[in-house]
Amino acid sequence: MSDNLATVVRDICRKYGRERGRLMDIVRAVQEKFGCVSGPAMDLIAKEVGVRRVQVASVVTFYAFLSEQPKGQVVIRLCNDIIDQMAGAPDVARAFEEELGISFGQTTPDGKFSLEYAACIGMCDQAPAALVNDVPVTELSTDAARRIVRDLRKHMDPSRLVHRLGDGNNAHELVHAMVMNNIHLRGPVIFTPANRGEAIRKALAMTPAEVIRAVKTSRLRGRGGAGFPTGMKWEFTRAAPGDRKYIVCNADEGEPGTFKDRVLLTELPDRVFAGMTIAGYAVGAAEGILYLRAEYAYLQRFLEDLLDKRRAENLLGQNICGKAGFNFDIRIQMGAGAYVCGEETALLSSAEGSRGDPKNRPPFPAQKGYLDCPTVVNNVETLACVTKILEAGPATFSEHGSPGSTGTKLLSISGDCKVPGVFEVPFGIKLSEVLKLAGGEDAIAVQVGGASGQMIAREEFGRTICFDDLATGGSVMIFGPERNVLEVADKFMEFFVEESCGYCTPCRVGNVLLKERLERVIAGQGEPADLEYLQDLGQTIKTMSRCGLGQTSANPVLTTLKNFRATYNALVKKRTDGLQPAFDLGAAVGEAETIIGRKSEHAHA
Amino acid sequence: MAKPKVATTSLAGCFGCHMSLLDIDDRILKLVELVDFDKSPVDDIKEFTGRCAVGLIEGGCCNEENVKVLRDFRAHCDILISVGDCAIMGGIPAMRNGIPLQECYAEAYLKGPTVHNPSGRIPNDPELPLLLNRVYPCHEVVKIDYHLPGCPPPADTLWEALVALLSDKPVQLPYELVKYD
Ligand SMILES: Cc1cc2nc3c(=O)[nH]c(=O)nc-3n(C[C@H](O)[C@H](O)[C@H](O)COP(=O)(O)O)c2cc1C
Ligand code: SF4
Ligand code: SF4
Ligand code: FES
């Protein structure tokens, strides 16, 4: 057995050239093979790769999809985020527990099944959803959950759970998923017929500087959330000293409620790869990395195959399309389940084979990115836009949208609406119009921009989706009249508490305190001073945190405080007795009462 | 005019903070000119005799008795001060917070190296207050107006704070009196 471990681990390490930078792939492969990365396995990996064991351990313990303790042969990860909760995830969870005889976080004694909760797995439009190993199972019901377990008991093969195939490429033999695209609105930019190779050929007919100028002329801004002008980012990277440069496509898509990159990678991956290649030409990079979140592993073979096709067609590789000296290739780097890895510097740490720790900025990736080389990090959709800009010209692109936010935006709409799914809308569209498109007009609140975004109240549904007003990476979550916005905010705080990398105190500790105090208010034990506390603490976390996660993690609280003040005010009342209402003496002595065998004389007076 | 009154108590503390209070040395004479002591181990007054201006709390809450006393202090004092790290964040006693209560009891009464308890029972005596599930810092049980950190806070810190409060001045202690590294 341990001989086997040694041989397999060695083979895996060799497959990845025993490179420290491929540690992620190595531990992922070991995890897949043995259901864990055990202590002995870590020792072996450390020796093969030439790092200390603690470096291996720090990777294994950081990511949700890796573990030191053995996991079941089949791991069921049920999304536990708010959208799934609203769609009935708690009942589905109970069905799984009953059918398997274990609770979440446990593995069956026979080592066959583990049951876990996951943060948003990017299937919000078909919630409740779960991953069974790599296989997404969507629109779950209690019956479906029971059937899944019974079927698995028979064959232990998650891929055989796919009884119906999704639309489009979801039915492709290399994808073979029940996932639906749910594209409900096709706009003039993204969801348009594509001609493989056209954009690259057009780009290669220009100089790199001209390509950058075209992107600048289009006024394209990053679709990943921050909205940085793409052309400028490329220009910085091109100008940065160094002869090795990299293009990284950020397909981590971890922001709760976002799933449009999944659809892009399913239906228009050629546009994305073309965008990366064009970026490579523009900035002078020879290598590209698609950082794909672990939750989308079911797309990996399909994407690898497409890369092969593109190599065969000379759209990747040496002297691309006959352009002497332009060499570019792309590899896929799988993530392992960590929201913070969507943050560009954390993503780079992860792609370098480390924990997904954000790095200090500056230097920005454009100066010092992957392996300290100048690096462009762009979102999937941004790169798809680039391809369209090269295909149709910058002017055709910028005629859509608003002056500060050109082009269209893919929205991932989920929650209380008739048709959740992906909508390509022009920038500048009113939130109320978005709601109409999705059939969510009776919403009382809309969370724009994911957990890190803003909770918008009815009075502000006239605001517009664009970088200057309601910026969003694409997530729009709709909440109907029966929802409690404060509980939604609390759920988002749970997400951040879970996903904080723990590096800095305001984020690691502050979010926990914020959540506790919010829950006190929700429980009716709050006072007006607690609202000030929430505001102050939230502001502190925002200003004192190192990376974008902490800088936005207080938003669920801060934006509900601002936009749903009346809801808060109705819950708090001033007290004059000087006691802390959250302290419950009866509960605090309960255990001792049982152990000692008498009732407290103070608690029940 | 009657002198303002000060009350003090040691909850789950070691009395070190009270020792530190006595450490103000001869200034204690000035202090008794400024104030009268009400309920406090210093004068052994067991029950409040009236309203107090300031209550000094040493130690956090580890048992039901602590909670009762602390609430009593809150009811009688205009200003409550958490004195020392035990009051502020549980301190040494809170090290048990990660250990199941049953194990704490067993260690104290059954299995500890110096325990002689042939009955093998955990005593059930009204004199022994029931333990709380964990040790709580004071501000989680009642509202606390000021926190004076330190283990214990130096005599000067206590002195400066008390004098400022009793003479209606803002409590603005110099950095040296509240920094500990
Ligand atoms: C916590 C956190 C998570 C993020 N997740 C993503 C993500 O999943 N996808 C993405 O493209 N950008 C994400 N970003 C933004 C990236 O850091 C970066 O700005 C973006 O990838 C740049 O690409 P763009 O300019 O094309 O938008 C995230 C940022 C933070 C702070
Ligand atoms: S803000 Fe949060 S996620 Fe970002 S570095 Fe600090 S602890 Fe890590
Ligand atoms: S803070 Fe220090 S001196 Fe004061 S009671 Fe606690 S342990 Fe004793
Ligand atoms: S899949 Fe559950 S919230 Fe996105």
Given a cut of 70, whether residue A473 has pLDDT beyond it is yes
Is residue A263 within 8 A of residue A181, CB to CB? The reply is yes
- Please give the C-alpha separations between residue A11 and each of A5, A18, A26, A295, in angstroms, as whole numbers: 10, 9, 10, 25
Mean pLDDT of chain A: 96
C-alpha–C-alpha distance, residues A440 and A298, integer Å: 31
- Ligand number nearest CA of B86 is 3
For ligand 3, atom 6, name the residue with the nearest CA. B86
Q: Which residues from A are below 8 Å from B140, CB to CB?
A: 580, 582-583
Work out the angle between the directed axes of helices A555-563 and A485-499 (0-180°, nearest 10).
160
Q: How confident is the model at residue B180 (pLDDT cuts 50, 70, 90)?
A: confident
pLDDT for A295: 98
Decide if A529 touches B, using CB distance below 8 A.
Answer: no
Angle between helix A208-218 and A230-239 (nearest 10): 150
List the end-to-end C-alpha distance of chain B, in Å, as a whole number.
43
Q: Which of A7-16, A285-294, B87-96, B159-168 has the lowest mean pLDDT?
A: B159-168
Ligand 4 centre distance from Cα of residue A438 (Å): 17
Cα A532 to chain centroid distance, Å, stands at: 31
Q: Which residues of A touch B73 (CB under 8 A)?
A: none
Q: How many CB atoms lie within 10 A of CB A224?
A: 24
A119 CA closest ligand 4 atom index: 2
What is the distance between the alpha carbons of residues A233 and A237, in angstroms, rounded to a whole number?
6
pLDDT attached to residue B179: 82
Instruction: Give every CB contact of residue A490 below 8 A, 6+ residues apart in sequence.
Output: A515, A518, A519, A522, A556
- Nearest residue on chain A to B145, alpha-carbon basis: A578
Q: Rounded distance, CA A329 to CA B123, Å?
A: 74
> Among A372, A330, A383, which residue's Cα sits nearest to residue A244?
A372
Q: Which residues contact B131 (CB under 8 A, 6 or more apart)?
A: A589, A592, B62, B63, B101, B104, B105
Question: What are the beta bridge partners of residue A375?
Answer: A246
Say how many CA atoms lie within 13 Å of A298 toward its Cβ: 29
Find the mean pLDDT for residues A497-526: 96
Q: What pLDDT sits at residue A602? A: 84
pLDDT in tens, A188-226: 999 999 889 999 999 999 999 999 999 999 999 999 988
**Cβ–Cβ contact B135 with A under 8 A:** no
Ligand 1 contact, A384 CB (< 6 A):
no
Residue range A302-323, pLDDT digits in tens = 999 999 999 999 999 999 999 9
pLDDT of A2: 66
Residues of B with CB below 8 A from A600's CB? Answer: 64, 130
- What domains does chain A contain, in order, with CATH numbers? 3-62 (no CATH), 74-164 (3.40.30.10), 190-399 (3.40.50.11540), 405-479 (3.10.20.600), 485-569 (1.20.1440.230)
What are the chain A neighbours of B71 within 8 Å (beta carbons)? 579
Closest CA to B91 of B16, B7, B6: B16
CA distance to partner chain B, nearest, from residue A585 (Å): 7
A252 CB under 6 A from ligand 1?
yes
Q: How confident is the model at residue A530 (pLDDT cuts 50, 70, 90)?
A: very high
Positive or negative, the Cα torsion across A468, A473, A479, A483?
A: negative
Residue B99: Cβ-neighbour burial (10 angstroms; 0-12, 13-18, 19+):
exposed
Q: For residue B92, with 0-12 CB atoms within 10 Å meaning exposed, 13-18 middle and 19 or more buried, which class applies? A: middle
Q: Do A578 and B143 touch (CB under 8 A)?
A: yes
Kind of pairing, strands A408-415 and A401-402? unpaired
- Rounded distance from Cα A379 to ligand 1 centre (Å): 7
With CA atoms as reference, report the closest residue to A484 among A537, A521, A527, A432: A521
- Give residue B130's pLDDT: 97
Q: How remote is the C-alpha of A481 from its chain's centroid?
A: 27
Ligand nearest to the CA of A339: 1
E-strand stretches of A8-103:
74-79
Alpha helices per DSSP H over A340-420? 344-351, 380-392, 394-398
Does B130 lie at the interface with A, CB-CB under 8 angstroms? yes
pLDDT band at B167 (very low <50, low <70, confident <90, very high): confident
How far is A559 from A452, CA to CA, in rounded Å?
Answer: 10
Q: Write out A71-98 in H/E/C secondary structure.
A: CCCEEEEEECCHHHHHCCHHHHHHHHHH
CB contact under 8 A, B71 and A600: no
Percentage of the residues of chain B whose pLDDT score is greater than 70: 99
Is A511:A500 a contact under the CB 8 Å cutoff? Answer: yes
Q: Give the model's confidence band at A605: pLDDT under 50 very low, under 70 low, under 90 confident, else very high.
A: low
Q: Which residue has the tokens 């108590």?
A: B9
Q: Is residue B102 within 8 angstroms of chain A, CB to CB?
A: yes
The strand pair at B52-58 and B77-83 is best described as parallel
Under the banding of pLDDT at 50, 70 and 90, the label for residue B1 is low
- Cβ neighbors of A154 (< 8 A, separation 6 or more) are none
Q: Which of A350, A299, A256, A254 is nearest to A134 (CA)?
A: A299
DSSP state of B78: E
Q: Which residues of A touch B80 (CB under 8 A)?
A: 578
Indicate the residue type of B61. C
Q: Do B131 and A593 touch (CB under 8 A)?
A: no
Nearest-Cα residue of chain B relative to residue A585? B64
Most confident of A145-154, A571-580, B33-42: A145-154
A495-525 burial by CB neighbour count: b if 16+ within 10 A, else e? Answer: bbbebbbebbebbbebbebbbebbbbbbeeb
H and E: helices and strands count for chain A: 25, 16
Q: What is the number of the ligand closest to the CA of B138?
A: 3
3-state helix, strand, coil in chain A (%, to 5): 50, 15, 40
Which pair of tokens denotes residue A72?
Answer: 């079941």
Ligand 3 atom 2: residue of nearest CA: B151
A597 touching chain B per CB within 8 A: yes
Q: Which residue of B has its CA nearest to A584?
A: B141
Question: Under an 8 A CB cutoff, do B140 and A582 touch?
Answer: yes
User: A117 in helix, strand or coil?
Assistant: strand
CA-atom Rg of chain B in angstroms: 18
Q: Give the closest ligand to the alpha carbon of residue A341.
A: 1
Q: Does A109 touch chain B (CB under 8 A)?
A: no
Between CA A535 and CA A211 the distance in angstroms is: 46
User: Contacts of residue B141 in chain A, CB cutoff 8 Å?
Assistant: 579-580, 583
Query: Residue A590's Cα: distance from chain center in Å?
Result: 42
Q: What is the ipTM of this complex?
A: 0.93
Query: For A399, how many CA atoms within 13 A lie in the half-sphere containing its CB?
Result: 7
Show the tokens assigned to A604.
């029940």
Atom of ligand 3 nearest to the CA of B85: 1
Check whether A1 has a pLDDT greater than 60: no
β-strand partners of A289: A248, A331
Average pLDDT value for residue range A255-259:
97
Query: Which residue puts its alpha carbon closest to atom 2 of ligand 4?
Result: A120
Domains along the sequence of chain B with CATH: 5-95+133-178 (3.40.50.700)
How far is Cα B87 from Cα A68, in angstroms, rounded to an integer? 39
A-B CB pairs within 8 A amount to: 68
> What is the spatial distance between Cα A416 and Cα A147, in angstroms, rounded to a whole number?
27
For residues A66-83, average pLDDT? 96
Predicted confidence (pLDDT) per residue in A329-339, tens digit: 999 999 999 99
Are the beta carbons of B131 and A592 separated by less than 8 Å?
yes
Q: What is the DSSP letter of A467?
A: T
